């Protein structure tokens, strides 16, 4: 009853909308993208675009992605149908909620929340070709990369800020160094960190797999996760991700690792939640023995 009690409005205020809000969407870069992507939106005709971007351009790709989802549903478009290259500094939430079929390559840098809610699209960020600095020693994007992502790929040639891959549940994300609290509350997907990490790595992580180069074990939060030696199967997964990272960003770190991967793979530690690992093992065993997978998973979860 108290929740439904109607309060008396203060003098000069209202309980209903009286003032229109202007969010400046008319000036959004996505309006241009939507016009240029008429073909893909109508009949999935591939298109390749190159445009400048500034840090006032936020959530680039999100309005475009919403139209793709409305037109084609959750499956989106075939990979690479909309191939967008940006040059400059992107504002917050580059590629947020981007669906399958849209690929954004940024030459420059980006602010926070790259790939927030990513839903099948691809985002790759690398320094400009003329940049004089060493990419893996410098920041390429901000905090909370891949927050709540459910699918897709994120490749970042350089270091990012704090809370990398928080609540990631299905995307593959690669970076070359992170701040504190990376992999926090991650529930699925794959994360690869090719550089130093901050503290509290893996806090609250209940799913997914992370591969970390030259890991400092003291920085991992051990409450829910184990640190494992990389297996042969995992090394093949890692190799494929590194190859993709190199193809999309030209990463010097990935190139060096791939050149002698059989040796370099053992520099990686695997961070995996204990319960998640137990469920995966139970699933694999049940499939091999022809038993009911759901029953095996439930039994493993009760241990």
> In whole angstroms, what is the distance from residue 98 CA to residue 81 CA?
13
> In whole angstroms, what is the distance from residue 212 CA to residue 173 CA?
12
DSSP 192: E
Per-residue confidence (pLDDT) for residue 39, from 0 to 100: 95
Determine the straight-line distance between the first and last CA of the chain, rounded to whole angstroms.
42
> In whole angstroms, what is the distance from residue 113 CA to residue 95 CA?
9
> In whole angstroms, what is the distance from residue 182 CA to residue 144 CA?
9
Per-residue confidence (pLDDT) for residue 196, from 0 to 100: 97
Per-residue confidence (pLDDT) for residue 19, from 0 to 100: 85
* Sign, CA torsion 261/262/268/274: positive
Per-residue confidence (pLDDT) for residue 82, from 0 to 100: 98
* Predicted TM-score of the model (pTM): 0.93
Instruction: Give the count of beta carbons closer than 10 Å to the beta carbon of residue 84.
Output: 25
Per-residue confidence (pLDDT) for residue 298, from 0 to 100: 85
Contact 107, 140 (CB under 8 A): no
pLDDT tens string 93-131: 999 999 999 999 999 999 999 999 999 999 999 999 999
Nearest 5°: the CA angle 103, 109, 115 is 45
* Sign, CA torsion 51/33/161/214: negative
pLDDT tens string 284-293: 888 898 998 8
Residue numbers in the chain where pLDDT is lower than 50: none
Contact 178, 208 (CB under 8 A): no
Question: Alpha carbon of 176 to those of 125, 126, 179: distances in Å?
Answer: 12, 11, 11
């Amino acid at each position: 009853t108290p929740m439904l009690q109607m309060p008396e409005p203060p003098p000069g205020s209202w309980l209903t909308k009286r003032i229109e809000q202007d969010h400046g969407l008319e000036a959004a870069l996505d309006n241009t993208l939507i016009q240029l992507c008429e073909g893909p939106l109508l009949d999935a005709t591939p298109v390749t675009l190159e445009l400048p971007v500034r840090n006032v351009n936020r959530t680039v790709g999100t309005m475009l992605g919403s139209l793709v989802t409305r037109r084609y549903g959750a499956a989106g478009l075939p990979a690479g149908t909309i191939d967008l290259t940006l040059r400059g500094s992107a504002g917050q939430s580059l590629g947020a909620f981007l669906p399958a079929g849209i690929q954004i390559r940024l030459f420059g840098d980006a602010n926070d929340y790259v790939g927030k809610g990513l839903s099948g699209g691809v985002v790759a960020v690398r320094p400009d070709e003329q940049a004089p600095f060493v990419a893996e020693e410098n920041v390429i994007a901000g905090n909370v990369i891949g927050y709540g992502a459910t699918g897709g790929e994120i490749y970042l040639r350089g270091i990012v800020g704090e809370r990398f891959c928080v609540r990631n549940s299905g995307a593959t994300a690669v970076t070359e160094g992170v701040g504190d609290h990376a992999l926090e509350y991650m529930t699925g997907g794959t994360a690869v960190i090719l550089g130093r990490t901050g503290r509290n790595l893996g806090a609250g992580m209940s799913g997914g797999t992370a591969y970390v180069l030259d890991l400092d074990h003291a920085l991992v939060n051990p409450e829910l996760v184990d640190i494992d030696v990389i297996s042969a199967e995992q090394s093949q997964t890692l190799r494929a991700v590194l190859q993709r990272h190199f193809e999309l960003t030209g990463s010097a770190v990935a190139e060096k690792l791939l050149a002698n991967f059989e040796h370099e793979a053992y520099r990686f530690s695997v961070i995996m939640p204990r319960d998640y690992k137990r469920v995966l093992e139970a699933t694999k065993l049940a499939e091999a023995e022809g038993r009911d997978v759901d029953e095996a998973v439930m039994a493993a979860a009760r241990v």
